[in-house]
Amino acid sequence: MNRAVCISVFVFMVYPLISFGQEAKEINKPMENISGQYAECAAYYELVYHAMNSSNEKETADAYRQLQEKAMFYSLLLANEGRSKDLAIDVTNSRIEMYMKKMKQEANNRNENISILINKYHFGCQEAMKNPPVQVVEALNKAASDLSYTCEVIHVFSLTSDASLEFSAWEKDFKGSSFTVSRTDGKITGQVLPTLLAKSTRIINKGSKENSFKAVADFGDQYQVIEIQEFRKGEVKPFVASSMGGAGIVTGLCK
């Protein structure tokens, strides 16, 4: 399996929920430079991984493999700025291949000389992995925000004329609380409207500038529906959700 295919598989298996942009934007030069630095570290970590693995130092090798995957992901995430996902994969692949060839020459293509690479690249890559620059943090935060909505409950309404004591307690406890809604499968986590025990959840509408995001959870004896008004302007979107077997409505804001 060539490296381009490996990176493609890595992205969809290890980070399957991260959404990469498809629209062409302007290339960000500072992010390009940092992406190249992480590609260099990914190449270094991969070569050290193979050296440790060949020496039967499995635990150390596994640690380097994890670092290699993380560095590769950072490089790919930054390379995606201004490129399609497929092109970002190709660019990241080429960068890592280029650095690996360079490093193999520095070590005379022998695992026994891996200390040469460790002495040259270890501390720089260690710092990059422990303290990623603000561009990486911002890219990760943006990717995470693309995966879910964070919502806050503002109002809880009873649809029955005689609201029970149970409902009053429920309203008091959950008003002002928050929860998250996955944009990929519609699952809700948090104290309010959780779908953990649902038989299934599905997205009816993914949401757009013209339509609401809408998801339904099947609990067997009832359905729970949440609608987030994605078409509204601004970062904050109103939501409406049915709950408690259709006896109540929850409203609030998501972003």
Convert the pLDDT of each residue in 194-252 to its tens digit: 888 889 999 999 888 888 999 999 988 888 999 999 999 888 999 999 865 556 788 99
CA 63 to chain centroid, in Å, comes to: 21
What are residue 160's DSSP bridge partners?
Answer: none
Is 59 within 8 Å of 51 (Cβ atoms)? no
Convert the pLDDT of each residue in 11-26 to its tens digit: 444 444 455 444 446 7
pTM above 0.75? no
Is 136 within 8 Å of 34 (Cβ atoms)? yes
